[in-house]
């Protein structure tokens, strides 16, 4: 299991006490990723669990856990969005921010969200067979959008290679699986 700490693009004083980690592992063609957010969750806009979680667009406008998968040495990649409310989406891109399409290979993206005072965790096991050949090397970017109750949205990632927060920047795909 590979553990990583996510860093904010810029320091937001109301979020300075947050700690955000992720761990990711791949076994054959199953990917397991788990995020852990620790801090004063009452200061964050975290949507309540939905009665009927569904595939939805624009989840990144609220608190949203994201990761990006790319085939090594290929411009193609996928963006996965996971809302603490249970909503989700997957997009396929032909190249950097080009050719965005809903990825139809997934009809459901079940993940678990657990909350306790001061801690939220989100975990997903994903069958990659639907989109990636077995044993194909992957490059991964792990990120999160955090929306505080007061203040500006905060962008967290393993690295921020550009002058602006940009989760699609290929230099942020630093995990190899």
pLDDT tens profile 155-166: 999 999 988 999
pTM of the predicted structure, to 2 decimals: 0.95
Q: How confident is the model at residue 150 (pLDDT cuts 50, 70, 90)?
A: confident
Give the per-residue pLDDT at 13.
59
Question: 14-65, pLDDT tens digit by residue?
Answer: 677 899 999 999 998 999 999 999 999 999 999 999 999 999 999 999 999 9
Give the per-residue pLDDT at 79.
98
With a CB cutoff of 8 Å and minimum separation 6, the contacts of 29 are 127, 128, 129, 132, 134, 135
As given in the structure block, the two tokens for residue 38 are 């620790």
Residue 12 has pLDDT above 80, yes or no: no
Return left, alpha or beta for 62; rule: phi > 0 is left, psi -120 to 50 is alpha, else beta: beta
* Dist. CA 45–CA 146, nearest whole Å: 8
Domain 2-176 sits in CATH at 2.60.40.1190
Return the number of other C-beta atoms located less than 10 Å from residue 100's C-beta. Answer: 11
Return the number of other C-beta atoms located less than 10 Å from residue 86's C-beta. Answer: 21
């Amino acid at each position: 299991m590979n553990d990583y700490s996510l860093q904010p693009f810029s320091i937001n004083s109301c979020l300075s006490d947050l700690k955000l980690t992720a761990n990711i592992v791949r076994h054959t063609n199953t990917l397991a990723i788990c995020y852990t957010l620790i801090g004063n969750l009452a200061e964050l806009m975290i949507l309540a669990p939905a009665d009927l979680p569904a595939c939805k667009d624009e989840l990144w406008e609220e608190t949203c856990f994201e990761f990006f998968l790319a085939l090594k040495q290929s411009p193609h990649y996928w963006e996965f969005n996971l809302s603490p409310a249970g909503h989700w989406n997957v997009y396929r891109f032909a190249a950097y921010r080009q050719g965005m399409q809903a990825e139809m290979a997934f009809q459901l993206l079940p993940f678990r969200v657990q909350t306790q005072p001061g801690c939220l965790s989100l975990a997903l096991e994903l069958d990659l067979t639907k989109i990636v050949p077995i044993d194909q090397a992957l490059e991964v970017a792990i990120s999160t959008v955090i929306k505080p109750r007061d203040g500006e949205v905060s962008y967290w990632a393993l690295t921020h290679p550009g002058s602006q927060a940009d989760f699609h920047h290929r230099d942020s795909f630093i995990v190899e699986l």
